[in-house]
Amino acid sequence: MEGAELLRRLADGSLPPGDFTHRNHVRAAWQCLRSHDRLPVAAHAFGDLLLAYVRAVGAEDKFHLTLTLAFMHIIHARMSSGEEAWDVFAARNPDLFSDARSLISRHYSAARIAAGRRAFAEPDGLPLPSADPV
């Protein structure tokens, strides 16, 4: 499924929850970043899209605002250009899929993550990578 189709299916709630794997989660975030000019706009648009989707499928308890926005920062920092294909990006960044927990733990303690489910928590470790503040 193409990135735009993935976003459309998230938006209309037609993506089966079992198909929203971590890989598709990263792809949807990447696609949203490609679709918007600035990180803050893309991050908040994706957060809104994701929250609406998890509500529609009855999984609102899985939504975590801080993790969503922090991962958007990390993905954005890894994007070399707006023209890079998804497959190239994914192949160049395997740790986004295999080691997401470690990537986040560079920026956040477990306590800070626990406190940031519904409201964005600033990192208490390394600053999030970004040229655009959210």
pLDDT in tens, 18-47: 999 999 999 999 999 999 989 999 999 999
Query: Is 62 among the domain residues?
Result: yes
Tell me the one-letter amino acid at 68: T
97-119: per-residue pLDDT in tens?
Answer: 998 989 999 999 999 999 999 99
Query: Is 107 among the domain residues?
Result: yes
Q: What is the largest CA-CA distance in the chain?
A: 37
Query: Is 131 among the domain residues?
Result: no
For the chain, what is the domain count? 1
On the question of pLDDT at 91 being above 70, the answer is: yes
Residue 133 confidence class, pLDDT cut points 50, 70, 90: very low
pLDDT of residue 37: 80
Dist CA 126 CA 74 (whole Å): 12
User: At 19, phi and psi to the nearest 5?
Assistant: -90, -10
Residues whose CB falls within 8 Å of the CB of residue 35, separated by 6 or more in sequence, listed in order: 4, 7, 42, 45
Say what the pTM is: 0.91
47-90: per-residue pLDDT in tens?
Answer: 999 999 999 999 999 999 999 999 999 999 999 766 889 999 99
Domain that holds residue 27: 3-115
Query: Is 43 among the domain residues?
Result: yes
pLDDT of residue 84: 87
Residue 134 confidence class, pLDDT cut points 50, 70, 90: very low
Query: Is 133 among the domain residues?
Result: no
